[in-house]
């Protein structure tokens, strides 16, 4: 996630074809569109941690499908890593709706790592 731009994700990678290594970076905006990265400035003088200048929108169906696949795999891996970190602390919680892994977000609530609309109450608040 781009810290200075909530909801925007930057995905970078490298493709190799016959000793030709090509690195690439794309930005996924909150509306689900993908954009080529034209330039990056780490710790720009204007402030922030990273300034990204986007180029053309990716409209080619094959390229967009590839971006979606990389993004989906990253989301899955990220959710699995978060769940693995949280399991020793809170035990293994399973989503009753989809069977996914739940992560404790509050003392009284857990959220599914596969679908954040799936929530589970852990215990009742007791007031005296």
What is the torsional sign of CA 90, 95, 101, 103? negative
Query: How far is Cα 124 from Cα 107, in angstroms, rounded to an integer?
Result: 10
pLDDT at residue 92, as a whole number: 63
Beta strands per DSSP E along 18-118: 20-28, 34-42, 50-57, 93-94, 101-106, 109-112
Q: From first to last of the 128 residues of the chain, give the pLDDT tens digit.
A: 566 677 888 888 787 777 777 888 899 998 999 999 998 888 777 777 778 889 999 999 999 999 899 888 888 888 777 766 665 555 567 777 888 777 777 767 778 877 778 777 766 544 43
Write out pLDDT tens, residues 32-56. Answer: 999 999 988 887 777 777 788 899 9
Dig out the tokens for 91 from the structure: 């035990």
> What residue segments make up the domains of the chain, in order of their start?
1-59
pTM of the model: 0.57
pLDDT at residue 27, as a whole number: 92
Q: Count Cβ atoms below 10 Å from residue 124 Cβ, excluding itself.
A: 7
């Amino acid at each position: 996630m781009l810290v200075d731009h909530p909801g925007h994700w930057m995905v970078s990678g490298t493709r190799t074809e016959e000793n030709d290594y090509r690195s690439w970076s794309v930005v996924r905006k909150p509306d689900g569109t993908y954009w080529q990265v034209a330039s990056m400035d780490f710790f720009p003088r204007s402030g922030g941690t990273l300034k990204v200048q986007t180029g053309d929108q990716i409209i080619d169906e094959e390229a967009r499908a590839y971006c979606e696949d990389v993004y989906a795999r990253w989301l899955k891996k990220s959710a699995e890593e978060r769940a693995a970190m949280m399991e020793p602390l809170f035990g293994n919680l399973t989503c009753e709706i989809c069977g996914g892994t739940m992560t404790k977000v509050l003392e009284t609530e857990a959220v599914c790592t596969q679908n954040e609309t799936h929530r589970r109450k852990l215990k009742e608040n007791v007031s005296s």
